[in-house]
Structure 1
Amino acid sequence: MQCLFGQGASVSSIHPVGEGFHATGYEVRMQGPKNDRVFARLISPLEFGHDLSSARIEAMLEASHPMPHALPTYAVVGIAHDGLLVDLTHILEVVAIAQFLPDDAINFCKILRTPTHSNEEAIRLARNTQDNALLMAQAMADIHASQAFAGTSQEAQSLYKRSLRAVIHNDELAAGVADLIDFTSASWISHEDVVGLLADMERVRHNMGNHPERIRKIHGDFWANNIYFHTDEQGRRVPIVTDGRLVWGEPGIDAGWMVGEFAMQDLIRFGKFGQAFSAVAANALLQYVEKTGDTQLFSFMALPYSFQAFAEAFFTPDLTDETRRKLFATSWGALKSRLNGEPFDLAALNAYTEAGLVKLVPRS
């Protein structure tokens, strides 16, 4: 700490302020000339899903007005595996990890991924998450409506042109996932299949070029580490969208994440799509579309769903090779359907697993 803040720094206290999806946040108080003050938030360990550089974030901040949350005046510091301290103050996504949350706040994915040991338990869990899913759909609709997405096309196109290479997109993120795969030992996927997926992902994004306002950001931030639920003073269950959210989220990407997260639970728990969790996702998606009128999003959901399914196939622990291959097949199948001019269809996921895009038996 003294290496970062100077030899004269006097740390009066360090204590946890909340556990995020990827790490734990700590508040550091420093003894100043007049009083104690919050000097930094520490993030440990420093291993969140994808590194967003300050330059990339700042490019979006410059074009974003007004910001829903101001950047903090204190420092945000990450502790890397080698013990080095990394300045994260301008990386808004990780600020949320150290955000103050109510004591009863529960991360959404910890609820959704509760272990079950029978189909009956899985069905009960799906029913119990129905209210949470509808609350999320309402929160998404409120946020997207307040951002007046339909009226920001010119502004969004300007951002897209300025920051085409500064803002990470789903196909570039997917390439980053592919870089982590050891194809010599991964029995569930081949290098050729991944190259084919990435090529189709780029084709889909290119075909969206006349709608830059709808592909302006990597994800819409209804992401695992951004969603919590707690009970308010009136006894109501309410969602919390943490400060990691940026204003340039895309509705289709938010919806794509939600559908992907629920659909994956069907595959893991029942061995196929179209079961209890997919029904929950369909109901939430229907409510969202009814409240926003945004039927156009079905033309853009293939891209975020594809990235979600591919990333989950690789990163989710304890999946069988068959489950990983099926997730990958839906990732690629959604892209193929979009290239054929078809909108995203939740009911088609099982068909994608049977389309022969990837082998669903171990390779010899």
Structure 2
Amino acid sequence: MSDVNNRLVWLGAGLAKHPKFDFRAYSNVSLYEAQSSLCKQLEFELAEYDHVKIINKCITNVSATEKTKFNLYSPNILSSLLPATGIEGVFPGLKLKSLIDVEFLALTDLFAEIFQDNQGQIDIIIDLPCLSGQFVDYFCKVGVPSSLNRITVNCTMRELYKGGYLYERVNEILEKNYFVFDYADKSDPELPLVTYYFDKKSKHMDELKAENKRLLDIAEALTIERDDYQRSFEDKAAHGEILEKNLSDLKRDYENIKSKFTDYSNSKKEIEIKQQEIQTQLAKEKSKIEIDLEDLRYKFFEKINEEKALRQIISELNEQLESAIEFYSNLKRSVSEHVGDKRE
């Protein structure tokens, strides 16, 4: 067993005969196999390796409600979770022996189990031609951990299993996610074993480029934002100058109004004093007029009384005059009569 922290994970290990690996070169080896009979044989053959762990589980990419039975074919190497729909033309003697129940392990749980500490270097063999493409697709979509070193994929050159990915598609997915072709075992031309190594440097370089672009975009956005703020500041500064001028004008107007108000207050006081003086004078004049009026009333009544007395005197004089006239008339008549008697 190696002292270096490196691990080997083999999905669909079978009897772990092909491809050949020196298990002693790894500090930890995990062999996942769906068939319990093969797991027992592995335990017997690999009993000397304390660091080799055999897990009797079928890896699946579907939910528990969609799980189905495992297809056990003859030859056993072609057994799979998906039904073989195109193998008859390549392997004419293929027979479905039976459908067996197996214990399933979901890809999500497998991923967490393998990469829980993300330490050391991990080599993965996906020896499941029916589902290798889906597994690769899943690994790449959730994000390839930095601890992944190499991946070996058993894929098909033509559609042998229902829904299985072909080699071209698997290769495209891996190359897009920084996996570089290393070598291919084409001892079985229909089911080649292709090994890729994870190019961490290229991935890291692209991540740095992407981060650099992101930072440049942020810097550009910040520059635009800074220019916008500068323009806004200049506009506000200009507006501030206008406001200051308006404020100065308002202060000047306020002082003018204040001065006028003071003048008005002073004028108002003067008016009030004048008004008070006039009211005092008017009061005096009113008092004098009232006294004069009373005096005139007294004199009026005196004149009326005098007029009445005068009228009385005139009336008496008229009566005396009438009496005198009558007396004179009588006297004249008497004299006339007397003179007439004498003539006779």
Q: Which TM class, normalised by the smaller chain length?
A: under 0.3
Greater RCO (CA < 8 Å, at least 6 residues apart):
1
Structure number, greater radius of gyration: 2
Bigger fraction of residues in helix: 2
Bigger fraction of residues in strand: 2
TM-score scaled by length of structure 1: 0.23
TM-score scaled by length of structure 2: 0.24
